[in-house]
């Protein structure tokens, strides 16, 4: 059996355990007033377990395989892949996670989106910067105002 099928089998086992937990054990301790809600705390885990199990079955039975093309990574030609971009993007994610508290959400997320799109090859600055800044503000607004989760938008020394 190929490596992707072994990994799919492991993911299927995880999804089955996760699904069993979501379907049968998570809702036992719910308060009586929450049992009348249309969406429970276990709704999203139930959806994730079903989607994960379905995707695992597709991989296990080879539904996604195409016989005319080789889809495996050739380790002898690793230098032809864009490994540098992947390493730069992963490094940028680590820097973003480290700067999120000291620099604030707006500055760190804005820089992350702009630099991430530069790493991935975007060169239209007149579109990239406004889209990154608008989406940063939109996500902050949704989390802060709609969900009510406080997220420091700027560094503490800004005084805002």
Question: Phi and psi (nearest 5°) for 75?
Answer: -70, -20
Whether the CB-CB separation of 71 and 30 falls below 8 Å is answered with: no
Confidence band of 156 (pLDDT split at 50, 70, 90): confident
Does 29 score more than 60 pLDDT? yes
pLDDT in tens, 3-26: 788 889 999 999 999 999 988 888
Residue 71, pLDDT score: 59
Among residues 158, 103, 95, the alpha carbon closest in space to that of 136 is found at: 103
pLDDT of residue 72: 67
Domain boundaries, the chain: 3-67, 82-158
Cβ neighbourhood burial of 49 (10 Å; 0-12, 13-18, 19+): buried
pLDDT in tens, 72-92: 666 677 777 788 898 999 999
Long-range pairs for 146-155: beta carbons < 8 A, 24 or more residues apart:
151/105, 152/101, 152/104, 152/105, 153/104, 153/105, 153/106, 154/104, 154/106, 154/107, 155/102, 155/103, 155/104, 155/107
Given a cut of 70, whether residue 159 has pLDDT beyond it is: no
pLDDT reported for residue 40? 79
Max distance between CA atoms of the chain, in angstroms, equals 60
Question: What span, in angstroms and rounded, lies between the C-alpha atoms of 112 and 109?
Answer: 5
- Chain segment 102-139, per-residue pLDDT in tens: 898 999 999 999 999 999 988 899 999 999 999 999 99
pTM strictly above 0.85: no
What's residue 115's pLDDT? 95
């Amino acid at each position: 059996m190929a490596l992707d099928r072994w990994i799919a089998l492991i993911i299927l086992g995880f999804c089955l355990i996760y699904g069993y937990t979501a379907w049968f054990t998570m809702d036992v301790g719910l308060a009586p007033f929450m049992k009348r809600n249309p969406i429970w705390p276990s709704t999203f885990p139930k959806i994730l377990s079903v989607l994960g199990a379905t995707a695992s079955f597709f991989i296990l039975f080879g539904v996604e395989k195409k016989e005319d093309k080789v889809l495996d990574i050739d380790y002898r030609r690793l230098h032809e892949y864009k490994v540098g971009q992947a390493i730069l993007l992963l490094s940028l994610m680590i820097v973003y996670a480290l700067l999120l508290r000291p620099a604030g959400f707006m500055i760190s997320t804005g820089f992350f989106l702009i630099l991430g799109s530069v790493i991935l090859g975007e060169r239209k600055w007149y579109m990239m910067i406004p889209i990154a800044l608008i989406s940063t503000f939109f996500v902050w607004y949704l989390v802060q105002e709609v969900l009510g989760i406080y997220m420091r938008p700027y560094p503490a020394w800004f005084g805002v």
